[in-house]
């Protein structure tokens, strides 16, 4: 018979799978990074794991962070919004205007309201170019961490 911990573990796995499948690269990376920080993974451990093709095992993220990102991902899916962090036509990699808007705006907000609020936030943030935040750089960093995180 499953106890309370099994139920929580299953719920966490369900939310992690949701963010993993439908989240942005930044959202997935945020969960991975948070789990590593909570577990106190050191760079030496990461290096050892990567060199030996091993796994760090499960690294559960902060429950509140996971819940917030899962709500965001679900809200974005319900509204049919693109899987992006920024609403700009040419998104700034450092800008999280859409994600932050989805976190803060009510769940009853429609697509038009979310996009208008996100564009307003984008204008206020005025994101700057960041050469290290490009898709290739982030994807490679994310894949390396995920490979170390996921048991083979
Ligand atoms: Zn933006």
- Note the residue count of the chain: 152
- Environment of ion ligand 1 (residues, CB < 5 A): 86, 88, 95, 97, 122
* pLDDT tens string 47-59: 999 999 998 888 9
Q: Quote the Cα angle for 76-60-48, to 5°.
A: 120
Q: Quote the radius of gyration of the chain (alpha carbons, Å).
A: 17
CA of 102 to the centre of ligand 1 (A): 12
CA of 36 to the centre of ligand 1 (A): 27
- Whose CA is closest to 76, among 32, 31, 18, 122? 18
CA of 97 to the centre of ligand 1 (A): 4
Q: Is the pLDDT of residue 139 over 80?
A: no
- Whose CA is closest to 111, among 68, 87, 79? 79
Give residues with Cβ within 8 angstroms of 76, minimum separation 6: 22, 83, 98, 102
Helix (H, G, I), strand (E, B) or coil at 132: helix
CA of 40 to the centre of ligand 1 (A): 32
C-alpha 14: how far from its chain's center? Answer: 14
* pLDDT tens string 21-31: 999 999 999 99
Residue 119 domain boundaries: 4-149
**Beta strand extents in 24-146 (DSSP E only):** none
Candidate ranges 66-75, 89-98, 128-137; pick with highest mean pLDDT: 66-75
How confident is the model at residue 130, as a pLDDT? Answer: 59
Q: Is the pLDDT of residue 126 over 60?
A: yes
- Give the count of domains, the chain: 1
């Amino acid at each position: 018979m499953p106890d309370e911990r099994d139920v929580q573990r299953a719920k966490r796995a369900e939310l992690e799978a949701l963010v993993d499948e439908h989240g942005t690269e930044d959202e997935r990376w945020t969960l991975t990074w948070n789990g590593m920080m909570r577990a106190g993974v050191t760079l030496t451990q990461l290096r050892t794991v990567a060199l030996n093709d091993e796994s760090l095992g499960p690294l559960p993220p902060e429950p509140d962070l996971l819940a917030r990102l899962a709500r965001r991902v679900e809200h974005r899916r319900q509204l049919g919004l693109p899987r992006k962090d920024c609403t700009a036509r040419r998104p700034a990699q450092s800008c999280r205007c859409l994600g932050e808007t989805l976190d803060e705006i009510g769940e009853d907000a429609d697509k038009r309201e979310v996009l208008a609020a996100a564009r307003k936030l984008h204008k206020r943030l005025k994101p700057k170019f960041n050469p290290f935040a490009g898709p290739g750089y982030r994807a490679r960093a994310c894949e390396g961490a995920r490979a170390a995180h996921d048991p083979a």
